[in-house]
Amino acid sequence: MSETVILWLRRDLRLADHPALARARRGAERLVPLYIDATAEEGDWRPGAASRWWLHHSLAALDRDLRRRGSGLVIARGADSLGALRRIATACGATRVCWGRRYEPAARAADARTELQLRADGLRCEVVAGNLLFEPWDLATEANGPYRVFSAYWRRAVARLAVPELIPAPEALPPLPPGLSGLPIDALGLLPRSRWDAGLARAWTPGEAGALARARAFVDGPLAAYGQRRDLPAMSGTSRLSPHLHFGEIGPRQLVRMIAERGLPLDDGPAEPYVRELGWREFAHHLIHHFPHTTDAPLDGRFADFPWQDDAAQLAAWQQGRTGIPLIDAGLRELWATGWMHNRVRMAAASLLTKNLRLPWQAGARWFWATLVDADLASNTLGWQWTAGCGADAAPYFRIFNPVRQGERFDPDGDYVRRWCPELARLPARFIHQPWAAPANVLAEAGVRLDSDYPRPIVDLAASRRAALAAWETIKGRA
């Protein structure tokens, strides 16, 4: 029996290897690819400005791809998704709704309520996986509980990891129901009013075509040396696929398939470190499913009583890349300009905030959420709690990154710092990561005036390390 089917799109803005799309096409005479702007369902974690910029361009790219196949993207908005789904279903006579799962706590609860009401309305609902290698409940410990240590989780996962058969992108799609229309993308107001986004536009190509091009370039190039270069922020050694993965413009199954088609094993050799990073993303979703409170509260309950500091001036200096510590400032400036920060620098920046400045990890998580194009609640939560020492498989609290040593080790010539802190560009490599230690004549020759051109450090690294360890002593013995 032919019917009209709604394909409810969220974090799966692609056409290739799209299980919900494949399910929706079965028996569909008319198909309604639908995106609903209902950010209230995100709870306290509504998308930040950088994510909204990406979403605008991703939706536009998807609409173009759909139109080339005889369809188009219908856009709606509302206080919640249910009202829009009901309205569209009534307008086009839809009998079935298909969608891919979301995993964030507030979104998951909203989806459950929506499904219940749609079924009560008489609509058939088909909910499928699609953006993970494993569903968060697929893997369990021997005691049938959730994992809290990545190494154990990944051993179980990689033993089950197989090269997937992908669903090809359709060459044509059923048409939209006649007379059905939605909002223009611009009506969602996703782009910034003051156009600060030029750096994002130079750095990224949102959409499925951009995702596939970046993935192919990575697998054919930097993947071979990923294990050696991924920690070097001045080099193009990482995939930079995280925003594409977050918005579902490409899925991890596709990446695994691409790697396998190059003849590379998944659990050994040059591809293994990158496949393991995909596993870290899986682990993040495993954790947020089983421990939903961790978006705002520490998994390690002892940290609920940690003596965090409250210093708005220091937080602002960190956010603005004005800490006086070059590696950290370079990272925060890269973030502001491009919506992305190299992962090694993310760890160093998070360590400085939560340990040397002793500001709460939630403040850093919120800033990343607002400024990252790859802001993903599961990964953001895991990353910040890992560095702060209060999450699953966390770095011990007493592991405090020294940002000078990190810079000297991973940016030895200072190329990364020179790019993002051009006022330091003429300093010799010996002093590029600690300009305060340079003799006056070296500073003068480099044209650097501390406190004028570039600030002195806002914190003493050695003294603040001792203070952080003393703070840890106040809670470490608690149950």
Contacts of 19 (CB under 8 A, 6+ apart): 100, 128, 129, 130, 167
Active site residue 45: no
Active site residue 277: yes
Active site residue 154: no
Task: Give the CA radius of gyration of the chain.
Answer: 24
Give, in order, the Cα–Cα distances in Å from 151 to each of 131, 147, 168, 242.
22, 9, 33, 21
From the candidates 42, 115, 343, 423, give the one annotated as an active-site residue. Answer: 343
Distance CA 432, CA 421 (A): 10
Strands of the sheet with 74-77, listed across from one edge: 74-77, 28-37, 3-9, 96-100, 124-128
Active site residue 308: yes
Task: From 274, 230, 240, select the one nearest 410 (Cα to Cα).
Answer: 230
From the candidates 277, 336, 402, 423, give the one annotated as an active-site residue. Answer: 277
Q: CB–CB of 247/11 below 8 Å?
A: yes
Structure tokens at 438: 């340079």
From the candidates 361, 367, 420, 472, give the one annotated as an active-site residue. Answer: 361
Contacts of 445 (CB under 8 A, 6+ apart): 426
Q: CB–CB of 324/454 below 8 Å?
A: yes
Count each helix (H run) and each strand (E run) in the chain, helices first: 21, 5
From the candidates 384, 386, 420, 472, give the one annotated as an active-site residue. Answer: 384
Q: CB–CB of 265/271 below 8 Å?
A: yes
Active site residue 53: no
From the candidates 126, 308, 402, 436, give the one annotated as an active-site residue. Answer: 308
From the candidates 42, 280, 336, 402, give the one annotated as an active-site residue. Answer: 280
Active site residue 386: no
- Residues tagged active-site: 277, 280, 308, 343, 361, 384
